[in-house]
Amino acid sequence: MGGELGRPLVCRIGLVGSAHPTVLAHPIHPLHPSTPYPHPTMHLEINNLTKQFDTRQGPVLALDDINMHVETGEFVCVVGASGSGKSTLLRLVAGLDMPTAGEMTVDGQVVTGPGSDRGMIFQSYTLYPWMSVQKNVEFGLKLQGVGPRERREMASYYLNVVGLTKFARSLPKQLSGGMKQRVAIARTLASRPKIMLMDEPFGALDVQTKETMQQFMLDLWNRTRVSILMITHDVDEAVFLSQRIYVLTAHPGTIQREVFVNLPSDRTYTIRRDRAFQDYREGIMDLLRGKTTPALVS
Amino acid sequence: MQAPIAVLWMMGANTFQVCCTFGLTPVTPTSPSFSTAPTASQGMKPSVFWRLADDIPKPMSTALMVLSIAVPFAIWWLVASLDLVNDKFLPSPLQVAQALGRLWTDGFLLDDTAASIMRVTVGFGLAALVSVPIGIAMGAFASVRSLLEPIIGVVRYMPPPAFIPLLIIYLGLGEAPKIALIFMGTVFFNILMIMDAVKFVPKALLETTYTLGGQRRQALFQVITPYVLPNIIDTFRINIATSWSLVVVAELVAAENGLGKRIVLAQKFFNTDEIFACLIILGVIGFALDLSLRGLMKATCKWAVN
């Protein structure tokens, strides 16, 4: 899998601003010339996961018997309406909450708490406001005890990957929403997680920036093939980005369907005009509306 | 014909040109909803002075700030020079300036100011040293909060000056009781305000730290602490004013020197001009402390300053 890191990035659409990574300069990190990625394989498995919250009105079942998996280099989305417990699901995988029943394993190891093997991107841009962009990206490595010289190089590399080298010395408050989220992504990638968890990462962005970021994310994934598990309520976004989609229905959150998206991996915005794309989107929308569509491949 | 022109004007000449170069016909709506000329509306009248939660022009703000000092000073001067009040009760600015000069040449001014500042520095310094770790710990750990909040909540409402007799019995008449009074009077408020600031650290920031591989200890020292640093400086800025009052209270009761002591002595000899002089010194030093802590904030926490 690691070999894919060396694949050249094909720049497909003119993305806004000079800050955008139209070309990713170094295909392979200078510090890792022969070992492109420290985790050549990854296997995330979720077994019979159930989460119940105790409220004043009594227990509420947020997630009921969830079974799913993510394999090396996959981009998997979970779509669901609000209240379907999709954020809860991601927090459980991240180890930020504990399940009521069931378990998650990463490479066979049971998740018992948060760790850098499961880097998380939040919807609220969680940059450290007192640190420069550079220091933000270095911070994960600093926490892990990486030396100053190496983490500076790693951070610079990933800032280049997300096209924000010019902003290395800026403070987060000087950046736009999309740029902040790119810093957060660079920071997570620099920590070299086995899987990147994304909780509605583009939910707070305006439509144009959102589209730019989706394309950016797809390009980034095509280049790095980092395994991604992303939560979104945006069906269009899920179909555009992922290879596989879990459709989550609410009250309680259960997996309604697993959808394989058989579209080319180097997608651009024009694919939204394709019939196949629209079929996927409408099919999943119908599932969320409570209809079952036999036409949908599953 | 006026309406479409107005609309074009509103769109701006550039928009018009861009539309043309792209071969788009600029919209010149004729529907009534668009052609309503901007009549004087029924809405809010514009105001500069009464702008709510908004800046005013710099010159205006400067002028008002000068007035803020100049007007009270002018009234004082006027009342004193018109001999409306006996100058034993209300000395003129000139007399106060002379008193200041007298206190300076006699060496009292420097000694007393230095004594008061030293007490505040030691008392408040100790309070700051103690309150930062306790405040952060109380904000960060619900356990520590449950343990300490009730007792601090009660003790902080006991007026510090009420402790003076006890402090004198315990610690005598030297520096110790004065420093202890300043310490007691500020430490609890420092702690509670820092605790509150910690509660506002976004949870997602801590969770991000964990998913980047951070441990609790690292989150506490490398995320929570720098995040609340501006709040800590602000807390100090607010509470150092209290310590500045308490030092005078302590010196009024029992002291050999200090600005409070100077005021008591001046009262004995009916030297109101010296009292005025001391009050002005107290005000100026307090204001300088405030300004320097603001400066510290600007220098160390650029990210938190607008």
Q: DSSP readout, B182-231?
A: HHHHHHHHHHHHHHHHHHTS-HHHHHHHHHTT--HHHIIIIIIHHHHHHH
3-state SS class at A176: coil
pLDDT at B147: 96
What is the C-alpha separation between A45 and A110, in angstroms, rounded? 9
| ipTM rounded to 2 decimals | 0.83
In-domain check, residue A127: yes
Residue A61, min C-alpha distance to chain B (Å): 24
- Among A96, A97, A130, most B C-beta atoms within 10 A, so best to mutate, is A130
In-domain check, residue B24: yes
Phi-psi region of A24 (alpha: psi -120 to 50; beta: other; left: phi over 0): beta
pLDDT at A76: 93
Rg (CA), chain A: 19
What is the C-alpha separation between B110 and B105, in angstroms, rounded? 9
Higher pLDDT, B26 or B295: B295
In-domain check, residue B50: no
- Residue in B218, B223, B303 closest to A171 by CB: B303
Residue B265 and residue B127 share a domain: yes
A84 with A250: CB under 8 angstroms?
Answer: yes
Residue B145 and residue B10 share a domain: no
Mean pLDDT of chain A: 82
| Contacts with A126 from chain B: Cβ below 8 Å | 202, 204-205, 207-208
Residue A185, min C-alpha distance to chain B (Å): 11
Residue A198, min C-alpha distance to chain B (Å): 12
Would the CB atoms of A191 and B213 count as touching at under 8 Å? Answer: yes
Residue B292 and residue B150 share a domain: yes
Would the CB atoms of B212 and A139 count as touching at under 8 Å? Answer: yes
Residue B99 and residue B84 share a domain: no
**Helical H segments across chain A, by residue range:** 86-94, 133-143, 148-161, 177-190, 207-224, 235-241, 275-289
- Residue in B202, B214, B226 closest to A143 by CB: B214
In-domain check, residue A1: no
Residue B133 and residue B177 share a domain: yes
Measured from the Cβ of residue B249, the count of other Cβ atoms closer than 10 Å reads 16
What's phi and psi for A65, nearest 5 deg?
55, 60
In-domain check, residue B287: yes
Residue B176 and residue B254 share a domain: yes
Residue B116 and residue B244 share a domain: yes
- How wide is the angle at C-alpha A69 spanned by C-alphas A68 and A73, nearest 5°? 150
The count of domains in chain A is 1
In-domain check, residue A147: yes
- For the record, the structure tokens of A170 come out as 């800026």
Q: What is the pLDDT of residues B185-242, one digit of tens each?
A: 999 999 999 999 999 999 999 999 999 999 999 999 999 999 999 999 999 999 999 9
Helix axes B93-105, B108-140, angle to 10 degrees: 90
Listed in sequence order, the residues at least 6 apart from B42 whose beta carbon sits closer than 8 Å to its beta carbon are none
pLDDT at B256: 85
3-state SS class at B177: helix
Residue B126 and residue B80 share a domain: no
Nearest CA in chain A to B215: A143
Higher pLDDT, B293 or A37: B293
- For the record, the structure tokens of A102 come out as 């069931």
In-domain check, residue B52: no
In-domain check, residue A240: yes
The count of domains in chain B is 3
Question: Which CATH number characterizes residue A43's domain?
Answer: 3.40.50.300
A&B contacts, CB < 8 Å: 72
Strand order in the sheet with A195-199: A118-121, A195-199, A227-232, A75-80, A244-249, A254-260
Residue B107 and residue B80 share a domain: no
Its domain, for residue A208, covers 10-289
Mean pLDDT of chain B: 86
- For the record, the structure tokens of A194 come out as 């086995």
Q: What is the pLDDT of residues A55-113, one digit of tens each?
A: 888 888 888 888 999 988 889 999 988 778 888 999 999 999 999 999 898 888 888 88
Measured from the Cβ of residue B131, the count of other Cβ atoms closer than 10 Å reads 27
Its domain, for residue B240, covers 93-304
Would the CB atoms of B213 and A140 count as touching at under 8 Å? Answer: yes
User: What single letter denotes the amino acid at residue A81?
Assistant: A
Q: How confident is the model at residue B304 (pLDDT cuts 50, 70, 90)?
A: confident
